[in-house]
């Protein structure tokens, strides 16, 4: 299999034979009409079009976790420009598409050590495509199997806009995956949402909008009790699941916060530090400050220990060498710290 290397890392793979599953290859994903995949409201015909690009599969390489709704601050910041693009929903769709490709072709290739050209064969599970949204009965069955899909996936890609951390289902997918996987297999797509920069034909460029504070507040205010959930019955089930697995709601929240901060910082180190050291400091320092504010001083010290800008300079611009040093750092320092947090949080 194209992602056979992941099995050596102790990762799951393959779905129970009693559970039917459909996936979409990254290659087929690229054939979809731009914007269709992430539009908030799907018509039955659109849903059928998406589902036709799937195939039966015995393995999930990447489970894609995302929030269906966009962030209000994008519309507030860009106003008329966002409406000219087709509304906040259209901008959100563009940003999600950017981040999915970024995670598959950049971070996943780096940390899983997979050649970019092989990534086209990766099999993804995305609810918008793989769940028959036009068939209520089949859709319900997929929801019932969600836990199996998540735990059977080899890796998790999170398209993390600020609202993601306020949604109970999203938090559940995040922590459900971490319950049985190493954080080495989570890839967090946040940069496009964080900087909110996009270019559309004939529209010019939107100026960078630094929305770090919006994300920091989302992590700071992360709460199991206050997380949004549209269906009351779902809330009861998800909260009960958390109570079964975690020492307490506070332990669940601590583990969610530490893993979010750590993996966002890891991907900032992986990407931004190589291209713009000044921008790296602008975006990285608030996450270190938040870590200490929330009482996670050890995590801040671990992250600072890599010395991203200095390490990149020592590699003399050799990105492969830098990536190798970052992978070694994550394997020996960052992931062991997160493993200790997992042991502290789980029953």
* Burial (Cβ within 10 Å: 0-12, 13-18, ≥19) of residue 49: middle
Q: In order along the chain (347 residues), what is the average pLDDT of each group of 10 residues?
A: 34 49 90 78 88 90 87 49 47 81 84 85 92 86 86 93 88 89 90 61 42 86 90 85 92 95 92 74 91 98 93 88 93 96 94
Answer yes or no: are the C-beta atoms of 248 and 283 closer than 8 Å.
Answer: no
Are 204 and 216 in contact by the 8 Å Cβ rule? The answer is: no
Q: What is the predicted pLDDT for the residue at 89?
A: 61
Rounded to whole angstroms, the Cα distance separating 68 from 21 reads 21
Q: How far is CA 237 from the centre of its chain?
A: 23
Supply the pLDDT for residue 294.
98
Q: What are phi and psi for residue 335, nearest 5 degrees?
A: -65, -40
CB within 8 A of 332, min separation 6: which ones?
none
pLDDT at 136: 84
- Helices 249-270 and 335-345 pack at an angle, to 10 degrees, of 170
Residues 157-177 as b or e (16 or more Cβ within 10 Å = b): bbbbbbbbbbbbbbbbbbbbb
Distance from C-alpha of 336 to C-alpha of 328, rounded to nearest angstrom = 12
| Residue 78 to residue 209: CA distance in whole angstroms | 9
Question: Tokens 């997992």 map to which residue?
Answer: 342
Q: What pLDDT does 71 receive?
A: 59
- Tokens 């018509």, residue? 43
The b/e string for 321-340 (b: 16+ C-beta within 10 A; e otherwise) is ebbebbbebbeeebbebbee
According to the model, what pLDDT value does residue 241 have?
86
* Cα 250 from chain centre: 22
Q: What gap in Å lies between CA 51 and CA 123, rounded to an integer?
A: 14
Give 166's contacts (C-beta < 8 A, 6+ positions apart).
218, 221, 226, 227, 228
List, in sequence order, every beta strand (DSSP E) within the chain: 22-25, 55-56, 62-66, 123-125, 155-159, 186-189, 199-200, 204-205
Alpha-carbon distance values, 94 to 78, 99, 197 (Å)? 15, 9, 10
Place of tokens 């291209």: 275
pLDDT at 10: 34
What is the model's pLDDT at position 11? 40
How many angstroms separate the CA atoms of 245 and 230, rounded?
23
> Which is it for the CA torsion 325, 327, 328, 332, positive or negative?
positive
Q: How far is CA 316 from CA 278, 313, 320, in A?
A: 17, 5, 11
Assigned token pair, 47:
């849903």
pLDDT in the model for residue 38: 82
Going by the DSSP 8-state scheme, the letter that residue 58 receives in this structure is S
Q: Which helix (H) or strand (E) holds 335?
A: helix 335-345
The pLDDT of residue 34? 66
Contact in structure between 112 and 5 (CB atoms under 8 Å): yes
Q: Cβ distance 74 to 88 under 8 Å?
A: yes
For residue 225, give the H/E element and its range: none
- CA–CA separation, 300 and 258 (whole Å): 10
């Amino acid at each position: 299999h194209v992602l056979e290397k992941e099995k050596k890392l102790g990762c799951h793979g393959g779905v129970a034979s009693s559970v039917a599953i459909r996936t979409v290859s990254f290659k087929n994903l690229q054939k979809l009409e731009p914007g269709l995949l992430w539009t908030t409201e799907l018509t039955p015909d659109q849903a059928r079009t998406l589902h036709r690009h799937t195939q039966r599969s015995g393995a999930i390489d990447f489970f894609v976790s995302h929030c269906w709704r966009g962030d209000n601050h994008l519309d507030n910041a860009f106003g008329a420009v966002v409406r000219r693009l087709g509304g906040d929903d259209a901008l959100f769709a563009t940003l999600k598409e950017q981040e999915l490709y970024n995670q598959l072709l950049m971070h996943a290739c780096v940390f899983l050590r997979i050649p970019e050209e092989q990534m086209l064969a990766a099999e993804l599970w995305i609810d918008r495509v793989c769940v028959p949204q036009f068939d209520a009965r089949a859709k319900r069955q997929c929801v019932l199997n969600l836990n199996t899909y998540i735990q059977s996936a080899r890796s998790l890609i999170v398209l993390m806009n600020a609202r993601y951390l306020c949604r109970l289902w999203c938090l559940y997918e995040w922590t459900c995956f971490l319950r049985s996987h190493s954080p080495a297999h989570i890839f967090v797509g946040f940069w496009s949402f964080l900087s909110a920069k996009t270019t559309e034909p004939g529209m010019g460029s939107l100026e960078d909008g630094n929305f770090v504070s919006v994300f920091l507040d989302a992590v700071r205010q992360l709460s199991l009790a206050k997380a949004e959930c549209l269906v009351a019955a779902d809330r009861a089930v998800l909260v009960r699941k958390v109570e079964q697995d975690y020492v307490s709601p506070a332990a669940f929240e601590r583990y969610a916060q530490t893993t979010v901060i750590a993996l966002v910082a890891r991907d900032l180190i992986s990407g931004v530090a190589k291209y713009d050291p000044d921008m790296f400091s602008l975006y990285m320092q608030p996450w270190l400050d938040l870590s200490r504010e929330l009482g996670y001083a050890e995590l801040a010290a671990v992250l600072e220990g890599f010395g991203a800008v200095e390490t990149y300079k020592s590699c003399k611009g050799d990105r492969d060498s830098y990536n190798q040093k970052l992978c070694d750092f994550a394997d020996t320092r960052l992931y062991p710290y997160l493993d200790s947090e997992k042991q502290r949080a789980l029953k």
